[in-house]
């Protein structure tokens, strides 16, 4: 019977019959050994030999291999498309993902975190560790000329804080939670554009959009009612809001003359006791971030391939009026709002 099952058809009934036969033979074999017969004696029986061969052989069905291969090919293809942004950009991939999941991309932008592990897994290693080698601290400078800044910091990847970076700006006296709330008021064009066309980062504050942030009362925003700390960020791609904000700040004086800032500015705001966890960015250029109000502590770490050539960690406190310049594509970085006041920063990339 066992021989017939081995050469018979492979239909479900035959497989089920063979399984029952194997179980019966296994039971008889185990019982015989328990009664004192030696395994060597039992192995002289052809049926027992065939049974053990059947039990020791395990074949994965072809359909399992096909499904596994299809999954691997699909995953690799998705990674290539996402990282190269060809033949579609990441926004299209994101929208397709949301459509498949039946979610609204506008109200669920934080779902982009589904893909965050992929860039990290396939992050290209730093070509050189010169940007962090022999860097023992984040220097603070002032009255630095564009020529000096370009030579020492602009494109070297070395972090620096410019103490007088916001001189002649009026942002420090104008920017506040209440001021920003007036710009991004409910039903305003600026707020609508942020929600539909810009990026919003709730971090772990559980806000679903910028409108919900500005729905807070001043007491809650400033944690006067013992509310939990919060921290958010958004890209300002609304022209009217940008024009209003830029009346109170300008292009940092120390940037190289040939450098151009991105048209899109970034705003980060939050209460003391919260910030962004350690991460690395995937943007096109180095960036500057001006501390308008509040105080922020930055923690920097080099990528793993530079651990034995560079310091494991650097810390710097950025005070109001100072600008930190950092290539966030090279340095892992985390921030924490410290002190007593709400932190508001604004920044941009430069090429």
CB 125 within 8 A of CB 303: yes
Mean pLDDT estimate for the chain = 83
The model's pTM is 0.68
E strand spans, the chain: 139-141, 160-162, 200-201, 231-236, 265-270, 287-293, 295-301, 314-318, 323-326, 332-338, 343-349
pLDDT, one tens digit per residue, over 161-183 is 999 999 999 999 999 999 999 99
Q: What is the pLDDT of residue 339?
A: 84
Instruction: Assign 7 a pLDDT band (cuts: 50, 70, 90).
Output: very low
Instruction: Assign 111 a pLDDT band (cuts: 50, 70, 90).
Output: very low
Structural domain boundaries in the chain? 2-56, 62-121, 139-349
Instruction: Assign 10 a pLDDT band (cuts: 50, 70, 90).
Output: low
The single-letter DSSP state of residue 123 is P
Strand partners, 215: none
CB 309 within 8 A of CB 128: no
CB 266 within 8 A of CB 304: no
Q: How far apart are CA 34 and CA 351, in angstroms?
A: 80
What mean pLDDT is predicted for residues 112-127?
A: 61
Q: Give 139-349's CATH code, choosing from 1.10.1040.10, 2.60.120.650, 2.40.30.170, 1.10.3720.10.
A: 2.60.120.650
Query: What are the angstrom distances between the C-alpha of 51 and each of 28, 29, 190, 341?
Result: 11, 10, 75, 77
Looking at 27-31, 173-177, 308-312, which range is the least confident one?
27-31
Which percentage of the chain shows pLDDT scores above 70?
Answer: 77
Q: What is the pLDDT of residue 287?
A: 94
Q: 80 or 133, which is more confident?
A: 133
Q: What is the pLDDT of residue 1?
A: 44
Which of 182, 217, 211, 214 minimizes the C-alpha distance to 196?
211
Which residue has 């409910």 as its token pair? 186
Q: How far apart are CA 229 and CA 206, in angstroms?
A: 11
Give the number of residues written for the chain.
351
Q: How far apart are CA 4 and CA 267, in angstroms?
A: 75
* Exposure letters 206-219 (e unless 16+ CB within 10 A, then b): ebbbbbebbebeee
Six-digit token string for 90: 């990441």
Q: What is the pLDDT of residue 108?
A: 44
pLDDT, one tens digit per residue, over 237-294 is 888 999 999 999 999 999 998 887 777 899 999 999 999 999 998 888 999 999 999 9
Q: What is the pLDDT of residue 150?
A: 96
- Tell me phi and psi for residue 24, to 5 degrees: -65, -45
């Amino acid at each position: 019977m066992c021989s017939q099952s081995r050469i018979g058809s492979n239909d479900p009934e035959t497989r089920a019959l063979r399984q029952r036969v194997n179980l019966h033979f296994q039971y008889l074999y185990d019982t015989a050994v328990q009664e004192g017969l030696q395994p060597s004696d039992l192995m002289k029986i052809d049926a027992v030999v065939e049974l053990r061969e059947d039990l020791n052989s395990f074949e994965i069905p072809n359909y399992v291999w096909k499904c596994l291969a299809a999954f691997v090919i699909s995953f690799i293809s998705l990674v290539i498309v996402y990282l190269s942004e060809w033949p579609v950009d990441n926004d299209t991939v994101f929208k397709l993902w949301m459509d498949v999941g039946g979610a609204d991309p506008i109200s669920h932008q934080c779902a982009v975190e589904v893909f965050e592990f992929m860039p990290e897994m396939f992050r290209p290693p730093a070509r050189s560790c010169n940007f962090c080698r022999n860097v023992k601290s984040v220097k603070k400078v002032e009255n630095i000329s564009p020529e000096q800044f370009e030579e020492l910091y602009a494109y070297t990847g070395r972090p620096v804080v410019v103490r007088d970076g916001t001189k002649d700006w009026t942002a420090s006296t104008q920017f506040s939670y209440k001021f920003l709330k007036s710009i991004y008021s409910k039903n305003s064009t600026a707020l609508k554009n942020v929600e539909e066309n810009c990026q919003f980062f709730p971090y772990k504050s559980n806000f679903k959009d910028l409108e919900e942030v500005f729905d807070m009362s001043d007491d809650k925003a400033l944690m006067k009612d013992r509310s939990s700390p919060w921290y958010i960020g958004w890209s300002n791609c609304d022209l009217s809001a940008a024009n209003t904000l830029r009346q109170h700040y300008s292009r940092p004086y120390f940037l190289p003359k040939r450098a151009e800032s991105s048209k899109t500015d970034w705003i980060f705001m939050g209460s003391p006791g919260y910030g962004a966890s350690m991460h690395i960015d995937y943007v096109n250029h180095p960036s500057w971030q001006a501390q308008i109000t509040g105080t922020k502590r930055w923690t920097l770490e080099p990528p793993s391939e530079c651990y034995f050539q560079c310091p494991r960690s650097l810390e710097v406190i950025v005070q109001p009026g100072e600008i930190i310049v950092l290539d966030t594509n090279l340095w892992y970085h985390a921030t924490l709002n410290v002190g007593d006041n709400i932190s508001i920063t604004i920044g941009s990339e430069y090429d």
